[in-house]
């Protein structure tokens, strides 16, 4: 019986060793394949950050790991088994942590579409907020126009956090502003994305509302998902199109992901706005815009059921690839954003966009201010390789002679820099974050006026 037990134990040990050998071999193949891909695409991993750390991580690290794995294979038993156990255990821990960090522990938001459907059933004539990816695909019939903002003169559901819908009333252009009679004449024009629009923030608490309280009338030209081309499109259609419109400041709010938005904007009709003077003439076609958008958005799916989600569009294996790359672990350690994690920055196009807006503002004797709004990762981690486009965007703005307000250091150096995010970590700021943005902008403008 003892001899039989020893034989069974020996078989189990051999099986375990064979499994470990195959796991290490598979790991070596994965590392080797990744290294070959990096060597075949070197510019992708060095274009944005040709630092020593980046070279070591991508070009020296993989062969070192391969040498170590080959050394492990050459070890005799049982030392090889012990080292293999250690490597496999470390990988298990790594991907277990990745799995935990990948889980969103915040309170889930019910869909805006669900809120719109429910409110319509209760008799409310509301419409869902449209992000830039959706707006860029809506070609209205029969005019052929592409909308730039929300449905004009409508109740727009822009958030449904915890199942409590947030609604604002759009102005005659489709933006989040008070009634037109209250706005004129303007003190400033604010251009930006969902931060500027005030997604998930109640009326009166957005930083644009707070600026209005201190400065006077401020016109907001903003929509969720806006990137630089979308910002220029809104400005050109509804501000530049009126040569008599006057204001003292053009405030261009740039969020950390705007370069990523620009990367997909160039594949849509929005690229035409890079052409000097291009316009659809939307300001003079508001009745057509309102009628055709309303007809589309009154459909049960809100008019967007068949549209592709363009922003951050990923392939079906995107989540698997991110998990295999331990993306969330590297984000937590401040290692995300190096090399191939981001697409190359189109700084030439970005400069042309800002220059176009600046030149129009100058013709109106207005001053253009560039405000950089940092993301969670911007605030948590310092270093150009972790701040995608921050330093570059600020440099371009300064080269054009714009007044620049980079909020990153101010927000980093607060006692608790993360209390501006709902649940401690999210994309949009809460009311505290909006208050800080408004205060900083007002301080800058007061300094400029002295």
Q: How far apart are CA 353 and CA 274, in angstroms?
A: 7
71 plus 130 within the same structural domain: no
**339: in domain:** no
319 located within any domain: no
- Flag whether 416 is in a domain: yes
The answer to whether residues 192 and 52 belong to one domain is no
251 inside domain: yes
Structural domain span for residue 62 = 2-102
Residue 316 lies in a domain: no
CA 364 from centre of chain: 32
Residues 118 and 52 in one domain: no
- Overall domain count for the chain: 2
Which domain-ending residue is among 40, 69, 102?
102
The pLDDT value given to residue 189: 97
The reply to whether 331 falls in a domain is no
Shared-domain flag, residues 359 and 388: yes
Q: Are residues 72 and 159 in the same domain?
A: no
Residues of the chain with pLDDT under 70: 1-6, 8, 43-54, 57, 101-110, 180-184, 301-322, 325, 330-343, 382-388, 423-426
**Which of 54, 76, 102 is the last residue in one of the domains?**
102
Exposure letters 217-231 (e unless 16+ CB within 10 A, then b): bbbbbbbbbbbbbbb
Total residue length of the chain: 450
- Co-location of 177 and 267 in the same domain: yes
- What is the DSSP secondary structure assignment for residue 310, as one 8-state letter? -
Instruction: Please count the helices (runs of H) and the strands (runs of E) in the chain.
Output: 20, 8
Regarding whether 166 and 233 lie in a shared domain, the answer is yes
My answer on whether 248 and 184 are in the same domain is yes
Predicted pLDDT at 197: 96
Q: What pLDDT does residue 321 have? A: 66
Q: What is the CATH number of the domain that holds 210?
A: 3.40.50.1110
pLDDT at 351: 97
Same domain, 73 and 176: no
Question: How does DSSP assign 315-342, residue by residue?
Answer: -TTHHHHHHHTTHHHHHHTT-TTSGGGS
In a domain, 261, yes or no: yes
pLDDT (tens digit per residue) in 416-430: 888 898 865 567 899
């Amino acid at each position: 019986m003892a001899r039989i037990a020893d034989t069974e134990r020996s078989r189990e040990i051999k099986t375990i060793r064979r499994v470990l050998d195959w796991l290490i071999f598979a790991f070596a193949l994965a590392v080797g394949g990744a290294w070959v891909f990096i060597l075949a695409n070197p510019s992708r991993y060095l274009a944005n950050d040709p630092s020593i750390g980046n070279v070591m991580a991508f070009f020296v690290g993989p062969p070192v790991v391969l040498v170590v794995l080959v050394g492990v294979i050459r070890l005799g038993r049982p030392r090889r088994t012990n080292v293999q156990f250690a490597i496999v255990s470390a990988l298990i821990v790594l991907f277990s942590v990745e799995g935990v960090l990948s889980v969103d522990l915040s309170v889930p938001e019910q869909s805006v579409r669900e809120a719109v459907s429910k409110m319509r059933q209760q008799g409310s004539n509301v419409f869902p907020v449209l992000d830039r990816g959706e707006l860029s695909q809506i070609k209205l019939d029969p005019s052929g126009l592409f909308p730039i903002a929300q449905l004009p003169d409508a109740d727009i559901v822009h958030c449904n956090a915890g199942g409590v819908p947030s609604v604002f009333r759009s102005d005659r252009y489709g933006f989040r502003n008070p009634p037109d009679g209250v706005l004129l004449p303007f003190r400033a024009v604010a251009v930006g994305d969902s931060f500027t629009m005030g997604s998930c923030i109640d009326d009166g608490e957005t930083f644009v509302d707070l600026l209005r309280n201190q400065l006077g009338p401020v016109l907001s030209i903003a929509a969720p998902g806006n990137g630089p081309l979308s910002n220029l499109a809104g400005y050109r259609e509804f501000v530049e199109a009126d040569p008599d419109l006057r204001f003292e400041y053009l405030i261009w709010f740039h969020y950390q992901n705007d370069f990523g938005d620009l990367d997909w904007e160039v594949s849509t009709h929005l690229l035409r706005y890079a052409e000097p003077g291009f316009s659809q003439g939307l300001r003079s076609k508001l009745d057509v815009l309102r009628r055709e958008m309303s007809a589309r958005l009154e459909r049960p799916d809100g008019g967007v059921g068949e549209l592709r989600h363009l922003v951050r569009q990923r392939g079906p294996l995107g989540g698997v690839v991110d998990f295999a790359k331990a993306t969330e672990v590297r984000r937590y350690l401040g290692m995300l954003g190096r090399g191939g994690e981001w697409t190359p920055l189109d700084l030439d196009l970005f400069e042309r966009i800002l220059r176009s807006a600046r030149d129009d503002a100058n013709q109106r004797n207005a001053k253009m201010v560039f405000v950089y709004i940092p993301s969670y990762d911007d605030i948590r981690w310092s270093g150009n390789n972790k701040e995608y486009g921050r330093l570059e965007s600020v440099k371009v703005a300064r080269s054009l002679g714009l007044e620049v307000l980079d909020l990153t250091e101010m927000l980093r150096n607060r006692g608790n820099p993360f209390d501006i995010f709902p649940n401690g970590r999210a994309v949009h700021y809460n009311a505290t974050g909006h208050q800080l943005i408004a205060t900083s902008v007002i301080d800058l403008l007061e300094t400029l006026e002295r």
